[in-house]
């Protein structure tokens, strides 16, 4: 079925179709009600006519006699629309006067207590008739008086009444339709105005849409659009800041690459080039790390749109595997990496790839910013809300900067190692995506850093 896309047409149809249905139903009801009352009225006229004829039946010398002048009969039967028929029949004498149409009556009952109405045909014309029984004085005979007429007046009366009822209703529907079309069009003017205003806006104009002189129904749409514009403006601002920060972060290693490459080009001895090549490799590694972090950050932002695709993840298993993978890197930096957890599985809902990146960043920071010969503890606790604690013995984070470390490209003031300032920002993005509570604070005796993650169990 084709869906109607026009709001104006849909409103009109929703109004006109019920009204049309009501008119049709009312027409049927009016027809049968009118037919009943018209038949009742003309049936009463037939009964009066039969009674008038019955009054003319007299008794003469003990026998039934019907003496009425021919002129009076012509007046009785005269009708410019219908034909009137009558018949008078005696129980003893048989047919007395009339048109002899009793052949359409299958049973002539001379014991009638009440008038009997009947339908039939005379000369291929449908009729409606009535039969009454009368007994003249001074005679024992009984006489049936039958009067019938064709149905033209009945049909015409019904037709005229129905037309008188239906035509005003149909006209009313047309009037209502034109009026509603006009009112709907006028009611949609705010939408046309809004569409025109939006079409004339610059793509850079994300300011709120005015809701002055706007109906409350449309105001809801405008408020929703304003909320969307505000979110879009915020997103664009964040993207702009992100691009500017990323460009700034890339400028340093790129400048280093250029300087060291120019230095290497001026030298002819490979041994003299070696320090410059080492610096070039360091800058390339820094750019590679920054690029990887940016890709992970973009991946975590994209995953927000499909958070319903989370699957069960065993924290105990994947954290243990991740820690094992980091052991060689820790040993290379003379750091002892330990992992403590219960033996039973701990299940949560999430994306293991993103959770692994979260853990990789936290362990990388813990090892990178720890002192030589230091230790990093990774502890998983199975409580009503599973928690993961990562603690190191590095130089820690000043209390004044604890609230800023999750900002993108933020690096603490006393950082001694190279970094791009995206690690904890990625951690925060992934934690928010998985509804993980994250808390970062100074370690024991203000030494090192302790990061606590609180998960929602499955």
Contact yes or no for 453/387 (Cβ under 8 A): yes
DSSP 406: T
Q: Report the C-alpha dihedral over residues 115, 116, 121, 126, rounded to 10 degrees.
A: 70
Q: Is it the case that residue 238 has pLDDT exceeding 60? A: yes
Lowest mean pLDDT among 211-215, 419-423, 450-454: 419-423
Q: For the chain, give the mean pLDDT.
A: 81
DSSP 410: -
Residue 293: its pLDDT value, please? Answer: 64
Q: Is it the case that residue 389 has pLDDT exceeding 90? A: yes
Fold that domain 7-159 belongs to in CATH: Beta-Lactamase (3.30.450)
Same fold, 7-159 and 216-299: no
Q: Give residues with Cβ within 8 angstroms of 153, minimum separation 6.
A: 42, 79, 81, 82
Contact yes or no for 39/128 (Cβ under 8 A): yes
pLDDT band at 448 (very low <50, low <70, confident <90, very high): confident
Residue 212: its pLDDT value, please? Answer: 78
> Model confidence over 98-136: pLDDT tens digits?
777 655 665 567 777 788 888 888 888 888 888 888 888
Residue 306: its pLDDT value, please? Answer: 53
pLDDT band at 390 (very low <50, low <70, confident <90, very high): very high
Is 310-454 assigned to CATH 3.30.565.10?
yes
Residue 453: its pLDDT value, please? Answer: 92
Residue 136: its pLDDT value, please? Answer: 82
What percent of the chain lies above the pLDDT cut of 90? 8
- How far is residue 33 from each of residues 45, 171, 418, measured CA to CA in Å? 19, 22, 96
DSSP 446: G
Highest mean pLDDT among 37-51, 75-89, 401-415: 37-51
Contact yes or no for 33/24 (Cβ under 8 A): no
Residue 388: its pLDDT value, please? Answer: 92
Q: Is it the case that residue 378 has pLDDT exceeding 90? A: yes
What's the average model confidence in pLDDT over 241-262?
69
Nearest to 440 by CA among 429, 430, 458, 427: 427
Ordered DSSP codes for 234-301: HHHHHHHHHHHHHHHHHHHHHHHHHHHHHHHHH---HHHHHHHHHHHHHHHHHHHHHHHHHHHHHHHH
Contact yes or no for 379/341 (Cβ under 8 A): yes
Q: Is it the case that residue 436 has pLDDT exceeding 60? A: yes
Residue ranges in 92-188 assigned as alpha helix (H): 152-187
- What proportions of the chain, in percent to the nearest 5, are helix, strand and coil? 55, 20, 25
Domain spans of the chain? 7-159, 216-299, 310-454
> Model confidence over 299-337: pLDDT tens digits?
665 655 555 577 889 999 989 999 999 999 899 889 999
The model's pTM is: 0.48
> Model confidence over 266-297: pLDDT tens digits?
777 777 777 777 777 776 776 776 666 666 66
Sole residue written with tokens 């049709």: 24
Residue 431: its pLDDT value, please? Answer: 87
Indicate the CATH number for domain 216-299. 1.10.287.130
């Amino acid at each position: 079925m084709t869906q109607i896309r026009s709001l104006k047409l849909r409103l009109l149809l929703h109004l006109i179709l019920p009204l049309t249905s009501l008119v049709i139903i009312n027409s049927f009801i009016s027809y049968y009600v009118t037919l009943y009352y018209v038949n009742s009225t003309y049936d009463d006229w037939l009964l009066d006519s039969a009674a008038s004829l019955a009054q003319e039946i007299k008794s003469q010398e003990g026998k039934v006699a019907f003496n009425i002048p021919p002129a009076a009969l012509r007046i009785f039967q005269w009708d410019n629309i219908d034909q009137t028929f009558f018949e008078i029949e005696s129980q003893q004498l048989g047919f007395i006067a009339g048109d002899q149409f009793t052949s359409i009556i299958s049973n002539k009952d001379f014991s009638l207590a009440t008038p009997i109405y009947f339908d039939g045909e005379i000369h291929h014309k449908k009729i409606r008739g009535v039969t009454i029984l009368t007994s003249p004085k001074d005679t024992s005979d009984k006489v049936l008086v039958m009067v019938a007429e064709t149905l033209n007046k009945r049909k015409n009366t019904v037709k005229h009444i129905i037309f008188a009822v239906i035509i005003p209703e149909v006209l009313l529907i047309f009037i209502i339709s034109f009026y509603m079309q006009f009112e709907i069009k006028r009611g949609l003017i705010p939408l046309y105005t809004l569409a025109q205003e939006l079409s004339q806006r610059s793509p850079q104009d994300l300011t709120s849409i005015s809701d002055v002189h706007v109906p409350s129904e449309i105001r809801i749409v405008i408020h929703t659009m304003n909320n969307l514009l505000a979110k879009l403006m915020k997103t664009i601002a964040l993207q702009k800041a992100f691009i500017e920060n990323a460009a700034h972060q890339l400028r340093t290693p790129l400048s280093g690459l250029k300087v060291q490459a120019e230095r290497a080009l001026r030298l002819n001895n490979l041994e003299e080039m070696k320090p410059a090549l080492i610096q070039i490799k360091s800058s390339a590694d820094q750019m590679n790390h920054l690029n990887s972090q940016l890709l992970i950050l973009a991946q975590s932002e994209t995953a927000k749109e499909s958070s319903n695709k989370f699957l069960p993840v065993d924290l105990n298993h994947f954290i243990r595997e991740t820690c094992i993978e980091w052991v060689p890197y820790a040993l290379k930096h003379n750091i002892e990496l330990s992992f403590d957890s219960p033996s039973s599985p701990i299940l949560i809902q999430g994306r293991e790839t993103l959770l692994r990146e979260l853990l990789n960043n936290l362990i990388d920071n813990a090892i990178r910013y720890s002192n030589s010969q230091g230790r990093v503890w990774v502890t998983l606790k199975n409580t009503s809300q599973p928690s993961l604690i990562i603690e190191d013995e590095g130089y820690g984070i000043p209390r004044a900067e604890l609230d800023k470390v999750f900002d993108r490209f933020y690096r603490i003031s006393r950082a001694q190692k190279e970094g791009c300032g995206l690690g904890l920002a990625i951690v925060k993005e992934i934690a928010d995506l998985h509804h993980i509570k994250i808390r970062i604070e100074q370690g024991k005796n203000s030494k090192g850093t302790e990061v606590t993650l609180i998960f929602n169990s499955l």
